[in-house]
Structure 1
Amino acid sequence: MAKLSLDRLTALLEPHFLEVLGGFDCAGEAGFPDWARSALLLGPREPGFWAHLKAQPEWGGADPVDRWSRRVIGRLACDLGGKARFPFGGPPYDPFYQWALRTGRVWDSPVRLLVHGTQGLMVSIRGALVLREALKLPAAHKPCEGCAQPCVTACPVGALGAEGYDVPACHSFLDQPEGTDCLSNGCRVRRACPVSQGYARLGEQSAYHMGRFHRAG
């Protein structure tokens, strides 16, 4: 088997419309296997992810996105002699938010949501590959620096801001006729991010996740 590199891993992820969002050195850390050298966070690669996912056997059943993530990322981990970790399935839950901040490619945004250098506030982490190889992407420039930060004022009811997320206020707004836009097209705060606007995520995908979020609330 060829030695694992970021280029080879990228090639393995492409058929699944996944990409490496970032990674960090986890060697010797509690909570990781003794053999682990790096943890790489994976997320959807656009354009094309949503159409690909809807064509998979998990679609139409319960929790199709999570079940697909477990199958695909779990199989990749096994094939690479590593281990898969997921941000769902708990409690307990792995600290994916903190892991993302360690990558130097995902940051805490002005509204406390994670923001990615090329995906903006649309970033979504489907899982992590814990690998025996020391792989890490270089740090990137935080997109919020020099940005007018329209995300801060985008929420009509101020549910998302520097103080965090007022979930009850968000659900209450989504119950109103005025909340239809967020339910149908995705959170206005996420859409307001200039980087998000350049990321080819379909409104249908955002509507799906908003609908599930609101029903679960």
Structure 2
Amino acid sequence: MSPRLVDDIATALAEHGLIPRGGFAFGDGDAAPAGPAGRPARSALLVGQAGAAPWPHYRNWLERQPKDLENPLDSWSRETIGKVARAFGAHAVSPSDKPYLPFQQWAMRAEGLKPSPLGILMHPEYGLWHAYRGALLFDAEIDKQESLKQIHLCDLCDGKPCLKSCPVDAYSETGFAHRGCLAHVRGPTGVPCRTGGCLDRNACPQGLAFRYPRQVQAFHMRSFGGF
């Protein structure tokens, strides 16, 4: 897969607020999913976002959908990335496909990122305000490029405010207390989280220019809480 092809894909994705998020070639020992021809794919190009750039495109699409549509953001991502995949002879896959694909490992491989204490990959420019929405799989091998060795900003952070802002200590060095977090978000004291997003995530000082607007964070928290 040539750099020119990646540039053309980037142009097509930009119409929807999406961007390429790095790619890699599957090795002989990888359990590669099927590519366009049905054989194990030779390479993958991840697709995602920086900040909330896709939000207006998603909202415009949502206005034309049934009101009772389940998981609309996943549906929009699949439809949008699927169209781009077909235009470039690729096969599209999604993080919510079952059986689940190792998107986090793919992302670490493609972009050289590491997880933050919250589990979200820390990006040197976007901070915690980015996401992976899908991947394009190809039968051809991508031009091999070593992922850059990124500075892991969490290693340089002494205060770790992301572990000190949650009122129920949902995140700690031992992991994520899912049940405690969910009960808090659904409860009477969880209004700030429901309306403005995760307090721990918002406490991180990195990538503030890409921080999701409150309505976008509220959307994700409603999804998490099952509202």
Relative to the length of structure 1, the TM-score reads 0.86
Residues 61-112 of structure 1: CA deviation (Å, up to 9, x unaligned): 332111111111111112111111111132x111112222222343211233
Deviation of 1:206 after TM superposition, in Å, equals: 1.1
Pairing 1:140-155 to 2, within 5 Å after superposition: 140-148=150-158, 149-155=160-166
> Which shifted more, 123-132 or 97-106?
97-106
Q: Distance in 2 between matches of 1:200 and 1:73?
A: 23
State the one-letter code of the partner of 2:205. Answer: P
Q: Distance in 2 between matches of 1:58 and 1:101?
A: 34
**Which residues of structure 1 form unaligned runs of 5+?**
none
Contact 1:40 / 1:130 at 8 angstroms: preserved in 2?
yes
Residues 147-205 of structure 1: CA deviation (Å, up to 9, x unaligned): 23321222221111221111111012123332111110111121112224221422111
Say how many residue pairs are matched: 214
State the one-letter code of the partner of 2:224. Answer: F
Instruction: Find the partner of 2:73 among 46, 65, 70.
Output: 65
Match of 1:43 in 2: 48
Contact 1:105 / 1:141 at 8 angstroms: preserved in 2?
no
State the one-letter code of the partner of 1:84. Answer: A
> Which shifted more, 193-202 or 128-137?
128-137
Q: Judging changes above 3 Å, is the alpha-carbon distance between structure 1 residues 59 and 189 closer, same or farther for their aligned structure 2 residues?
A: farther
Match of 1:165 in 2: 176
Instruction: Find the partner of 1:178 among 169, 189, 192.
Output: 189
Q: Distance in 2 between matches of 1:137 and 1:9?
A: 20
Pairing 1:1-217 to 2, within 5 Å after superposition: 4-28=4-28, 29-33=30-34, 34=39, 36-46=41-51, 48-56=53-61, 57-58=64-65, 60=67, 61-90=69-98, 92-131=99-138, 132-135=140-143, 136=145, 138-139=147-148, 140-148=150-158, 149-215=160-226
Contact 1:150 / 1:193 at 8 angstroms: preserved in 2?
yes
**RMSD, matched Cα:** 2.4
**Which residues of structure 2 form unaligned runs of 5+?**
none
Contact 2:50 / 2:131 at 8 angstroms: preserved in 1?
no
Q: Distance in 1 between matches of 2:43 and 2:135?
A: 10
Deviation of 1:35 after TM superposition, in Å, equals: 6.5
Q: Judging changes above 3 Å, is the alpha-carbon distance between structure 1 residues 12 and 86 closer, same or farther for their aligned structure 2 residues?
A: same
Q: Distance in 1 between matches of 2:162 and 2:73?
A: 27
Q: Distance in 2 between matches of 1:200 and 1:109?
A: 16
Contact 2:18 / 2:47 at 8 angstroms: preserved in 1?
yes
